[in-house]
Structure 1
Amino acid sequence: MAPPSKKASNLAVRIASALVLIPVVLVAAYFGHPWFDALVILFAAVMAWEWARIAGRRRNPDDPSPGARLQVSDWASAGLLSVGIVLAALLIDRFPDIFPLGIPGWELILIGAVIAVLVTGPKHRLRALWFGLGILYVAVPSMAILWVRDDPVTGQGIELLAWILALVIVTDTGAYAAGRSIGGPRLAPAISPNKTWAGLFGGMVSAAIVGFIAGLWLDLSSPWKLMILSGGLAVIEQIGDLLESAFKRRFGVKDSSHIIPGHGGVLDRVDGLLAVSVAVAALDYFGEGSVLSWL
């Protein structure tokens, strides 16, 4: 009997990891505060570490190509600082009874990003800007998804979060399936050679279907509106994926880490979710109420 192929073995590891992680996320999301808060804050700390690990890689002087970076660099102190700032901002914002500082989380994130640049500047020079940007990239979406789960206006935070998670999952799945089966012109070959326009449209159609089903499930007066919004958010999800791919390509990295067996790092798995969470939180804020309350 022939031994199992490396691809089949890797797929088995990916499935096993997903079977462990998905129930944990769903249970924490269902119970909400403080369990979901703790899980998101933990993931945010890991993402801050992954970002600093990538951004701290120095250019290889023997290789002039843009993606050439040395494997070992001096990112550890900047990484610890980034993790500490992200943890402090989110903990103070989400647990004011334990950490009664009285400063809004958004201000803490901005202050923390500036502090990271100033502290790492003397050693890392212009690269210090990447550490500040990483704090914003990680902490703002993390706070946004916690905001979405709270949803004090309609009390439908769990429904809103379930829709977002389903949208992100089916967008990635639909994009992958359409891209592999249809192929065609590349969407952004300089950033992600495997993404195609067919994949983008496949993701949009898949997300739109999920949006319509969610609209029926939530008994919305016009599920078509949620279907259209879901298709648009699929574009945001793919943009989030491309942004993270561009960041990794800039520093010559394939995976943000190897913390999730078969999947790479946390940043690799939630890049689209980060973008969609910010978009939905912005719609909630500027629409003066939950998305579900005005659709």
Structure 2
Amino acid sequence: MTEPTTRRAARAAGRPAAGRTPRAGRDLPAAIGVGVGLVLVILASLVFWKPAFVYLVSAAVLVGVWELDQALRSGRVDPPRVPVFASVGLVPLAYYGGADALAVGFAAATALVLLWRSVGAPRDAARDVAAGVYVVAYVPLLAAITSLMLAQPDGVGRIITFILVTVASDTGGYAVGVLRGRTPMSPSLSPKKSWEGFAGSVGTSAVVGAACVVLLLDGAWWAGLVVGAFAAAFATVGDLAESAIKRDLGIKDMGSILPGHGGVMDRLDSLVVTAPVCWALLHVLV
């Protein structure tokens, strides 16, 4: 039997045939280009003016909150918008006020969500309040932990370590998963994730963590291994958690603003979950 003309033409043009998905699962050149660009912007903000990173994170959190708000509303869940968007201020608040200010700010944001929703119709009020508190805690609160790291005397090194171990987790897991992935980790949530890929995530992140802690923070190599391994584990949990939300809402990506990646929340999902882990472990071990 001869091969269909369209498939031969697609192969000759160097693109996948119609009806077939590349094993990579995404536009790899676009994903690499966007990823490298984001890392360069982040590094520039850290090198030239530390507060610039805080405002860059605040902007990303603002977009992430908007994407998550839109996704929840597509599932007929209506978190109170004003207090949810106002909670983005937790990111600079943590940098300038510290952990105590962040705790007070989160408590105030939670109370504001409750008060704001209480003036509306009682129908589905509990669901909407829960959604509002969830958005505040998931994005602004967790992202604000990066401000606590940055405020330390060696904050730039801590932030770079946190970012690189998370990126290494994603990159190592992706590469090993594509090349050697055989055993699905959670087929119902993320069919492309495999246990082999997870091992690649942990191994790559641990090596990068050891290098970063030794070179950037003058710490012990074994502490970097611990930071990297835990970062990979929690990054995977964060990715699967958002996959569960997207599956429940019936959407593929949280947005489309980042070619090859999806939305901002599709990049923040692992970062925001990893941030408190890296903050705590670096505080204790380094």
Class of the TM-score when normalised by the shorter of the 2 chains: 0.7 to 0.9
Contact residue 163 and residue 214 of structure 1 kept, 8 A: yes
Distance 1:263 1:216, change over 3 A: same
Q: Deviation digits for residues 18-54 of structure 1, max 9, x if unmatched?
A: 3432221111122344211111111111111111111
Q: Sort the Cα spacing of 1:257 and 1:120 in 2 relative to 1 into closer, same or farther, 3 A.
A: farther
Residue 56 (structure 1) aligns with: 73
Aligned residue identity for 1:11: L
1:157-192: CA deviation from partner (whole Å, max 9, x where unpaired):
111111111101111111111112222221122221
Of the three residues 33, 42, 50, the one matched with 1:16 is 33
Which one is further off, 199-208 or 12-21? 12-21
The one-letter code of the counterpart of 2:265 is L
Q: Which of the numbers 109, 113, 116 marks the counterpart of 1:116?
A: 113
Give the TM-score of the pair, scaled to structure 1: 0.78
The superposition leaves residues 125-153 of structure 1 with CA deviations (integer Å, 9 ceiling, x where unpaired) of 343111220111011122101111111xx
Secondary structure of residue in 2 paired with 1:195: strand
Who is 1:241 aligned against? 239
Could you tell me which residue of structure 2 aligns to residue 130 of structure 1? 131
Per the normalisation by structure 2, the TM-score is: 0.80
Match of 1:5 among 12, 15, 29: 15
The change in CA–CA distance for 1:111 and 1:197 in structure 2 (over 3 A counts) is: same
Work out whether 1:185 is the aligned partner of 2:156.
no
Query: What residue identity is the alignment partner of 1:262?
Result: G
2:103 maps to 1:106: yes
Aligned-pair Cα RMSD in Å: 2.8
SS in 1 for 2:193: strand
Q: What are the within-5 Å matches in structure 2 for residues 178-217 of structure 1?
A: 178-217=176-215
Matches within 5 A, 1:26-45: 26-45=43-62
**Residue of structure 2 in register with 1:176 after alignment:** 174
Distance in 2 of aligned mates of 1:16 and 1:215:
27
Contact 2:145–2:276 (CA under 8 A) maintained in structure 1 = yes
Q: Mean Cα displacement is larger for which, 187-196 or 136-145? A: 187-196
Distance in 2 between the 1:17 and 1:221 partners?
Answer: 31
Distance 1:90 1:23, change over 3 A: same
Distance verdict in 2 for CA 1:44–1:160, change over 3 Å: same
SS at match of 2:259: coil
Greater Cα offset, 126-135 or 6-15? 6-15
More helix by share: 2
2:281 & 2:107 partners in 1: Cα distance? 21
CA distance in structure 2 between the aligned counterparts of 1:93 and 1:216, rounded to whole angstroms: 27
SS of the aligned residue for 2:171 comes to helix
User: Secondary structure of 2:27's partner?
Assistant: helix
Contact 1:89–1:108 (CA under 8 A) maintained in structure 2: yes
Q: Which moved more, 1:108-117 or 1:119-128?
A: 119-128
- Summarize the alignment of residues 86-105 of structure 1 with structure 2, pairs less than 5 Å apart: 86-94=87-95, 104-105=101-102
Partner of 2:5: none
Percent identity of paired positions between Structure 1 and Structure 2: 25
For structure 1, which runs of at least 5 residues remain unmatched after alignment? 59-72, 97-102, 285-289
